[in-house]
A = this chain, B = another copy of it.
Amino acid sequence: MIEDRHIGLAYGNGGRLTRTLIEELFALHLANDELDVGLDAAPMHLPEGMVPMITTDGFTVQPLEFPGGDIGSLAVNGTVNDLAVSGATPLYMTLNAFIEEGFEVETLERLVQSVAAAARLAGVKIVAGDTKVLPRGQGGGLYLATTGVGMRPADLQLGLGRIAVGDRILVSGPVGDHGIAVMLAREAFDLKGPVQSDCAPVNHLTAALSEVAGLKFMRDPTRGGLATVAHEIAMATSTTVRLKETDVPVQDPVKSVCDMLGYDPYYLACEGRVVAIVAPGAADSAFAALKRTPGGEGAAIIGTIEQGRAQVLLETEIGGSRVLDELEDDPLPRIC
């Protein structure tokens, strides 16, 4: 039992309290048949004939809990989703926690339980971890970092290099929910409630897309949102990425908040969406694959890869078009 109500510096010293924190809070909730906190390094059982993939991500979201998620579920889904969009099935994960001195044990426990629930949902096992305690005033409460290992079929070829003029662009659901949900949770606005973060694992969506012949590229539009993914594609392929405003799904409450506060939903982070590029003839089957998969009900075909200068064009509702430039200032810091 952890006797203190708040984490003190001594919980990071490697001695008795560190052991208590790891055994009776982290390992207790993250337990799985391959987690052994007594090891310096954990063995992984990786299926043969597939390509092992690795990715890592840091999380500093503020507030730590928001409608639809928290830093714990975000830390699992962020890394699961980076593996998923690279075509890999996520299998193993590691977890780093940087805890600020004075952090409430009860809150920490709730967030670690959220990590555990998200890991179970995504089907990954957390097999290694580390905790550090930061002196009061140098930590922002809690920061997490996760690293994930997954396996990709050897014959699944995805990449920016496969994209060609004529390809279609899809998104698995409405954009901007996560950004707005976190922003509303942070501010004192009387707008709380209507918007929930889309924070979720996308590995079932990417698995469904991977069955579609003609799938070329997938990415999760996190920091910088849909516009940033579109911009990366335009730059890497020297094409014009044309998006149609009327086709890009944005939920009404997100639209309202954006209109009111001057945000552009296309630059806001999603944490449970996939952007996919497919060959022209594969758009309908990719759309159908998303639609029939849980989490993909709001999918849409939103644009086309066109010949032209490297840029992102948004065809507006009234028939004009505006350029979506690369993101400069940060509209919403610490969203992930």
Contact = CB atoms under 8 A, between A and B. Distances in A.
A129 B39 CA distance: 24
Interface string A322-334: 0000111111011
A98 B60 contact: yes
Interface in A232-252: 232, 236
Given A13-B329, A14-B228, A327-B14, A55 B83 contact: no
A38 interface: yes
A207 interface: no
A320 interface: no
A56 B92 CA distance: 12
Q: Which of A59, A219, A329 has the most CB of B within 10 A?
A: A329
B56 A52 contact: no
Contacts of A102: none
Contact of A88 (B41, B46, B60, B132): B41
A33 B20 CA distance: 42
Nearest to A14: B223
A316 to B, nearest CB: 22
Interface in A293-336: 326-331, 333-334
Nearest to A227: B15
A10 B330 contact: yes
Interface stretch (A103-111, A145-153, A279-287): A145-153
A60 B140 contact: no
Contact of A152 (B43, B60, B222): B43
A41 B150 CA distance: 9
Interface size class of A (residues with CB under 8 A): 35 or more
Contact of A140 (B88, B129, B138, B329): B138
Given A56-B128, A56-B130, A14 B224 contact: yes
A2 interface: no
B40 A219 contact: yes
Contact of A328 (B17, B85, B330): B17
Interface in A205-264: 219-220, 222-224, 228, 232, 236
Nearest to A83: B41
A203 interface: no
19 contacts: A9-B330, A10-B328, A13-B223, A14-B228, A15-B326, A39-B86, A40-B86, A41-B53, A41-B85, A44-B51, A56-B145, A57-B96, A58-B98, A58-B131, A60-B132, A98-B98, A98-B145, A134-B334, A149-B149
A113 interface: no
A95 interface: yes
